[in-house]
């Protein structure tokens, strides 16, 4: 009697499984390995390059933080706009103002009086000119993180600021900023060629 119990269970499984398929049949999906390496390639990344204020160029696949868009205050329309990166041809920084700021500190704890430390730090304010693929231009302040993933390394992070400041006792030329972000295959090739040392 006990020997017939496994046969009964097998018959029940055959009847209950769709199409009478047996466990381990080739129609079953392949098993999923939860420990497999994750793909880090971003499907929304675009070819392009980032140029810094010191003239250095970083070519690769360009993308934003996942599910983010460029949020820019449109000076013409006087409202904020969200622009997906895929519709952008280029982003150019426009320096509105730059200066050396004096560094101040509180004289004592629990005292509102401030004293000048004798040191200065560089400060800069920016607007950004966003040129779309259809030729339209949006200009205004922008804050975003742009990533560039080169063909042979890890992604680098670049910040687009409304306002930026450097370390005390540094100069304005030492305060690097993103001069431009150019997108498209042509921009990527231009960036790769610019990286090659001149003969």
Rg (CA), the chain: 28
Find tokens 């047996």 and name the residue: 22
Rounded CA-CA distance 103/123 in Å is: 11
Q: What is the mean pLDDT of each run of 10 residues along the chain (199 residues)?
A: 59 50 57 66 89 95 93 87 95 94 79 82 94 94 94 91 90 94 95 66
C-alpha 53 chain-centroid distance? 19
The pTM of the full predicted model, rounded to 2 decimals, is: 0.73
What is the per-residue pLDDT for 69? Answer: 94
What is the per-residue pLDDT for 199? Answer: 41
194's enclosing H/E stretch is helix 185-195
């Amino acid at each position: 009697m006990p020997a017939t119990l496994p046969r009964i269970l097998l018959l029940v499984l055959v009847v209950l499984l769709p199409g009478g398929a047996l466990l381990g049949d080739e129609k079953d999906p392949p098993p999923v390995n939860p420990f497999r390496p994750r793909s880090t390639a971003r499907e929304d990344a675009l070819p392009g390059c980032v140029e810094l204020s010191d003239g250095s160029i970083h070519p690769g696949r360009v993308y934003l933080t996942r599910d983010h868009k460029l949020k820019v205050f449109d000076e013409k329309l006087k409202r904020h706009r969200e622009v997906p990166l895929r519709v952008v041809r280029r982003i150019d920084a426009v320096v509105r103002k730059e200066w050396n700021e004096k560094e101040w500190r509180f004289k004592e704890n629990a005292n509102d009086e401030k004293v000048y430390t004798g040191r200065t730090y560089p400060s800069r304010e920016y607007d950004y000119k966003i040129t779309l693929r259809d030729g339209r231009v949006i200009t205004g302040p922008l804050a975003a993180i742009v990533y560039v993933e080169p063909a042979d390394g890890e992604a680098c992070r670049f910040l687009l600021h409304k306002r930026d400041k450097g370390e005390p006792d540094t100069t304005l030329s030492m305060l690097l900023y993103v001069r431009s972000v150019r997108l498209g295959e042509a921009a990527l090739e231009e960036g790769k060629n610019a990286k090659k040392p001149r003969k």
